[in-house]
Amino acid sequence: MAQVLIRDLDARVVRRLKDRAREHGRSLEAELRGILEQAAESNLSEARSLAARLRRRLRGRAHTDSAVLVAEDRRR
């Protein structure tokens, strides 16, 4: 597994994170891991949701091949 080192965190931030970990009955490391996993997953979920909405919205439409558009633009 990868490791991440974050330098120069404000002491107040660390204190709040420790408090949050204590409230959840976890170590600081476990709390930080949970926060990071949730943040990474929510972004992925949001991106997937947006992609699905766009696919539904654009379903059935004819689209120009982007390679054709790029080639036309280069000829200008």
Sorted by where each begins, the domain ranges of the chain are: 11-74
Residue 34: the pLDDT is 96
In the prediction, which pLDDT does 7 show? 95
The confidence score (pLDDT) of residue 56 equals 95
8 vs 16: CA distance, rounded Å: 15
Q: What is the pLDDT of residue 27?
A: 98
Residue 12: count of CB within 10 angstroms of its CB: 8
Profile the chain (76 residues) by mean pLDDT over runs of 10 residues.
93 98 98 93 86 94 89 92
Q: What is the pLDDT of residue 9?
A: 95
Q: Which two tokens stand for residue 18?
A: 């420790």
Burial class, 34, CB count within 10 angstroms (exposed 0-12 / middle 13-18 / buried 19+): middle
